[in-house]
Chain A
Amino acid sequence: MSDNLLEIKNLKVHFPIRSKRLFGGTTRYVKAVDGVSFYIEKGETLGLVGESGSGKTTIGRSILRAIDPTEGQVTFKLDDQIVDLTQLQGRGLRAFRRYMQLIFQDPYASLNPRMTVRDIIAEPLVASKLAKGKEVDERVRETAALCKLNLEYLRRFPHAFSGGQRQRIGIARALISQPQFIVCDESVSALDVSIQAEVLNLLMDLQAEFGLTYLFIAHDLSVVAHISSRVAVMYLGQFVELAPTKKLFYSPRHPYTEALMSAIPKVNPDIEMTPVHLKGEIPSPVNPPPGCRFHTRCPYVQDMCRTEMPQWQEIETRHFVACHFADTLTLKGTD
């Protein structure tokens, strides 16, 4: 068997839009995630990028079962047992949550201002009844130390902490139940540059120490490139490309990836940017275009793209892409 911690097959998350009319009429759906299949290897970081509204957050949350998927299968390999997360209910699901955690984006909004830091960090442990009494305090101190938090501050409230420290509290809280899989949803985006580097280093250290597996969602492509072993690019609810980081950034095979790469501002005034111009706007996920979803904006569009949906195929080892012309196009990466 492969060493995949998670396998996601044909994941769909559709949100109904309620009709305001009395007898409803036909219900329409926002197809936030529409048929995505991928795997996450044990101990790796899979980066997930895409424009706002492309469905990145929904994927993360539906794996964690914070949102129930409409269709599809999500299997989690725990020791040697394979668990289908979409089938878990009630007590079984609650017991399983300790293995998967989430680190949020906004360290100011995600910590309860009325709870002490100790209580915030201890909450997942108490909620899942993993420890009692003295043991809780021990575990809190241990985890806080791992996240380089000052132990004397555990009795304080979050308002006394800076953004970087708060994010470390959020990380400690995610770690305390000893999870195997963590979704980092824009976890460093709200931090200042000098603080961001420290939190990224911490996340990488913790991964090396505990063999954690991350799904790292962010819109900052340089940050994603830095922390991820592989990166997936999402567009309008579907994956368009997934490849090892360097392959994806230096030799992309999908026109949308090329456009993203060309738009990253380089920290070098001698290199002038030549961003690929995408026509129009990102279409609505209620009514995605037929054929290839990117065809309305693709600079290389052909007739076939307008009607036929491209297959998600492994074009090279570990390099997946959904484009009819992935073999013939010569695309530029970042350099």
Chain B
Amino acid sequence: MTTEQTDWDALLEVQDLKVSFKTDEGIILAVNGVTFSVKRGQTLGIVGESGSGKSVSTKAIMQLLPRTAVVDKESSIKWHREDGEITEITQLKKTSREMRRIRGGEIGMIFQEPMSSFSPVHTIGNQIIEAVQAHGQVSKKQAREVAIDMLDKVGISNPSVRVDQYSFELSGGMRQRAMIAVALSMNPSLLIADEPTTSLDVTIQAQILELMNQLQEDLKMAIIFITHNLGVIAQVADEVEVMYLGQILERGTAKEVIHQPQHPYTRSLLRAIPRLDHIGGRLTAISGDIPSPLERPGGCPFHTRCEQVIPGVCETQIPALTRISSTHTVHCFLAE
């Protein structure tokens, strides 16, 4: 293995991640050379539309990809523990003891659909207890106490009653809180949240976002927050990554990306959403459709829809990384 410079602040380092799927219609390259890192205690927001590879790249971290997925041999995902130990996740077997320790233990995960993420035939409490016991030598009684404590922490009233209820007895917001309780019961250093508020009403969404912010402060964990909602990203993320068709087009602090977007795609996205500070008028839509993953365009992936496309350049060459500031980078010929 090559000795690369390691970032001591980093908790997770993803290098040149490539994930492809074998399908009947051909090979789909879902994630095409993605490099990023997550710092301890920080929130990294990943924004992208469907087919951008935002969920696939995080599932690769958890080794939760389906069997048809192939992770490229050159890809590297390094997991840094607090004691300085570094684990290469891509080298681990899916079912190995170490991977199981990471998945659900050191890295927690919450999903979009709190209804389908819970088993309908087990109580909420038993599902937390199962997780706690799978990751540590604790008695059932102790685990139950952890469960009640966690439910209380995520703001569920009457936790000692709720612990014995089933998921269908809880409302959508409650279920998502319970989901967070399951993920946090192991005290993870990284939480991956994949569209955690997308199916919720705005008032509940605001509560969940507040809760996540507060828990992050209390527990000092890092969060990868995946969403397509730029408003949510602006409110939760320290750093933002903009993905399109399996590639990161731009990365920077939330302020940089939202106030000084450099990539034409980021700019178009920001113009395409209705804003409340000036109601009315016409939206500036992005022309064309998101290309099918089977017909991925060459060169810059956005060139088929870009207004500022440079003929003869953007179609053929992949733009290199350009540094705008110490934290802000972009892949675009216009910025070079």
Contacts and interface: CB of A to CB of B under 8 A. Distances in A.
A pairs with B: yes
Interface of A: 51-52, 162-165, 192-198, 200-201, 204, 219, 221-223, 225-227, 245-246, 249, 259-260, 262-270, 272-273, 275, 277-278, 281-282, 334-335
24 contacts: A51-B204, A162-B289, A164-B289, A192-B228, A192-B290, A193-B228, A194-B49, A194-B285, A194-B286, A201-B283, A222-B273, A222-B275, A225-B279, A226-B280, A226-B283, A262-B206, A263-B206, A267-B270, A267-B275, A269-B234, A272-B235, A275-B207, A281-B171, A281-B173
B282 interface: yes
Contact of A259 (B203, B232, B270, B273): B203
Contact of B203 (A51, A269, A272): A51
A197 B284 contact: yes
B290 A194 contact: yes
B138 to A, nearest CB: 32
A208 B172 CA distance: 38
B231 interface: yes
A267 B228 CA distance: 12
B272 interface: yes
B206 A201 contact: no
Given A263-B202, A275-B207, A197 B286 contact: yes
B212 interface: no
B234 A52 contact: no
Interface centre among B173, B206, B237, B254 (most CB of A within 10 A): B206
Contact of A198 (B254, B285, B292): B285
A204 B173 CA distance: 34
B206 A273 contact: yes
B30 to A, nearest CB: 16
A90 to B, nearest CB: 39
Given A193-B273, A194-B49, A266 B235 contact: yes
Contact of A266 (B234, B274, B287): B234
Given A197-B286, A267-B270, 13 more contacts: A51-B201, A52-B172, A162-B290, A198-B285, A201-B283, A222-B274, A227-B274, A245-B280, A259-B203, A268-B258, A269-B235, A269-B258, A272-B235
A165 B284 contact: no
B234 A197 contact: no
Contact of B205 (A165, A226, A265, A335): A265
Interface centre among A192, A219, A334 (most CB of B within 10 A): A192
